[in-house]
């Protein structure tokens, strides 16, 4: 059965039968707040629409099998079972952005929730610091399965931002990700494009396509090293995307989209966190409009061979980028470490209804939206 949130499929079937396409938004809005209701049970539908929905569509093809909250209640991780039996994780991060200041000014807005969605089961990029990479690649998610993560999350909290930073490399599932984002920004969910961020290790051909297909969303690039040989050491997929060619691609992307690019940089002790590497990164980026987000490495249990950089090294790295190269640089305050829901920790280990393995760590603090950093 198809997910009713598979927009291309439902549009095609409605068009073939002359059914008003405006009903799609009505159906989605109803199902987004009503669980355990089939699509054909939505009030106000024509008989023709009900017949199509009853025969061909399910209200959701995925199921939330477990929900785990962090100790400070800021982060919620959902374990979701797909129709084919596979599992993915999606993470909701909630905070009040009015608490404290950022860059010397009061943070805009108020209570907010950001959803970190998965685009694949596993990942084939093999980043050595990422738990998901240890799973290998299993399968791509359909557009409907991606949107359903937003549906499940919306029943718990109102979602303002969506980041494609969960399991998988989004640009390796390009068509489904683009279709899902177009659904998320449509009449039902109305997520603003500038509140959506796609993170990639740097899949050059797809970045070239993205600037035309979704020019108004945010792009985040997992750079993680200023030299090609170091990138290849910790990110095997970087061999296919040479750093010089990637930087040329980002220049072309930026000239077309006129938007800042987010640079993600995980801080690994003794690997990429030295002062000379900060200067190398600054030289690489100083002529581009970027925001660098330094990410303290999160533990991933026995499969981890790295340690996080010291606080002193992170602060020095940030100081070099800011003071010497005038590059806007932040340090990510991780949310959800205690439920293995932080950056790089998503790894499905599921053998029963209540068997999610968790590593308990520090409680998390609120962070400004990544989208707000571009203001």
Name the strands in the sheet holding 111-116, side by side, starting at the edge strand that comes first in the sequence. Answer: 63-69, 75-81, 87-96, 111-116, 161-164, 196-200, 218-222, 261-267, 290-296, 328-331
| 343 tagged catalytic | yes
Active site residue 89: yes
**Secondary structure of 172-237 in the HEC alphabet?**
HHHHHHHHHHHHHCCCCCCCCHHHEEEEECCCHHHHHHHHHHCCCCEEEEECCCCCHHHHHHHCHH
Q: Burial letters for 15-36: b for 16+ Cβ neighbours within 10 Å, e otherwise?
A: eeeebeeebbebbbebbbeeee
**Kindly report the CA angle at 239 between 238 and 240, in degrees rounded to 5?**
90
Catalytic residue among 7, 89, 145, 371: 89
Contact between 121 and 169 (Cβ < 8 Å): no
Distance CA 89, CA 67 (A): 10
d(CA 186, CA 344) in angstroms, rounded, equals 30
| Nearest C-alpha neighbor of 293 from the set 202, 224, 201 | 224
354, 346 contact by CB (below 8 A): no
Cα 311 to chain centroid distance, Å, stands at 26
Are the beta carbons of 326 and 292 closer than 8 angstroms? no
Closest CA to 236 of 244, 224, 247, 245: 224
Q: Which of 112, 114, 129, 168 is nearest to 145 (CA)?
A: 168
- Cβ proximity of 135 and 169 under 8 Å: no
Catalytic residue among 123, 127, 130, 343: 343
Measure CA 296 to chain center: 17
| Residues catalogued as catalytic | 89, 343
């Amino acid at each position: 059965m198809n997910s009713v949130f598979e927009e291309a499929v439902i549009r095609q079937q409605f068009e073939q039968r002359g059914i008003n396409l405006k009903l799609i938004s009505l159906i989605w809005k109803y199902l987004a707040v009503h669980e355990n209701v089939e699509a054909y049970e939505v009030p106000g539908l024509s008989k023709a629409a009900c017949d199509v929905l009853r025969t061909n569509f399910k209200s959701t093809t995925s199921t939330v099998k477990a929900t785990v909250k962090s100790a400070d209640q800021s982060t919620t991780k959902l374990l979701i079972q797909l129709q084919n039996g596979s599992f993915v994780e999606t993470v909701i991060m909630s905070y009040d952005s009015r608490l404290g200041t950022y860059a010397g000014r009061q943070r805009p807005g108020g209570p907010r929730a950001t959803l970190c969605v998965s685009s694949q089961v596993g990942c084939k990029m093999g980043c050595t610091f990422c738990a998901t990479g240890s799973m290998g690649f299993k399968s791509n998610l359909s557009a409907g399965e991606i949107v359903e993560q937003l549906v499940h999350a919306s029943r718990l909290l109102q979602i303002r931002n969506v980041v494609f930073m969960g399991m998988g490399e989004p640009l390796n599932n390009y068509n489904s990700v683009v279709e899902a984002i177009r659904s998320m920004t449509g009449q039902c969910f109305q997520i603003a494009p500038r509140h959506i961020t796609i993170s990639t290790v740097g899949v050059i051909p797809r970045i070239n396509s993205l600037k035309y297909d979704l020019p108004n969303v945010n792009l985040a690039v997992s750079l993680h090293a200023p030299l090609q040989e170091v990138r290849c050491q910790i990110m095997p997929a970087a061999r296919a995307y040479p750093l010089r060619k990637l930087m040329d691609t980002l220049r072309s992307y930026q000239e077309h989209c006129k938007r800042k690019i987010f640079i993600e940089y995980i801080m690994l002790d003794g690997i990429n966190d030295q002062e000379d590497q900060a200067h190398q990164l600054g030289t690489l980026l100083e002529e581009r409009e970027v925001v660098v987000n330094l990410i303290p490495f999160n533990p991933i249990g026995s499969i981890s061979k790295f340690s996080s950089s010291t606080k002193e090294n992170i602060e020095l790295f940030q100081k070099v980028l800011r003071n010497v190269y005038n590059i806007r640089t932040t340090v990510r305050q991780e949310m959800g470490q205690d439920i293995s829901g932080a950056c790089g920790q998503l790894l499905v280990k599921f053998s029963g209804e209540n068997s999610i393995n968790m590593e308990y760590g520090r409680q998390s603090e609120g962070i400004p939206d990544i989208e707000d950093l571009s203001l």
